[in-house]
Amino acid sequence: MHNNAVANASFLTASRQIEENLDSVVDHGNDDELFIASYLQGHFAVISKPLEVDPEASVAKLDAEVTQSLKSAFSNRELEAEDQDKVWSMWSQQIQQVSA
């Protein structure tokens, strides 16, 4: 977290939790989970870091922006359909966990 963060504390906590969850998969998952988490981590990091200094940041905004980023990447056929499904599933799990 940056010292100049202006996003609300609940967003920062949720963002940090998602980051920790993805890191945990990278540290402890099997090869398939590692690939999916690493791929998702790239999209998440690019979007979540700027939101940390956005006073309008929210989990809903993070979800919408990551979803759009993934849709754009998948429309360019970055991953096979099966891997796309796994990425969507992992992202959905992350959002559900921080929204509960």
Tracing tokens 């919408």 back to the chain, one arrives at 64
Sign of CA dihedral 72, 77, 81, 83: negative
Q: Is the pTM of this model over 0.85?
A: yes
User: How confident is the model over 9-24, as a mean pLDDT?
Assistant: 95
Radius of gyration over alpha carbons of the chain, in Å?
13
pLDDT tens by residue, 19-66: 999 999 978 889 999 999 999 999 999 999 999 999 999 999 999 999
Task: Fill in the amino acid letter for 11.
Answer: F
pLDDT of 85 > 50? The answer is yes
pLDDT of 2 > 50? The answer is no
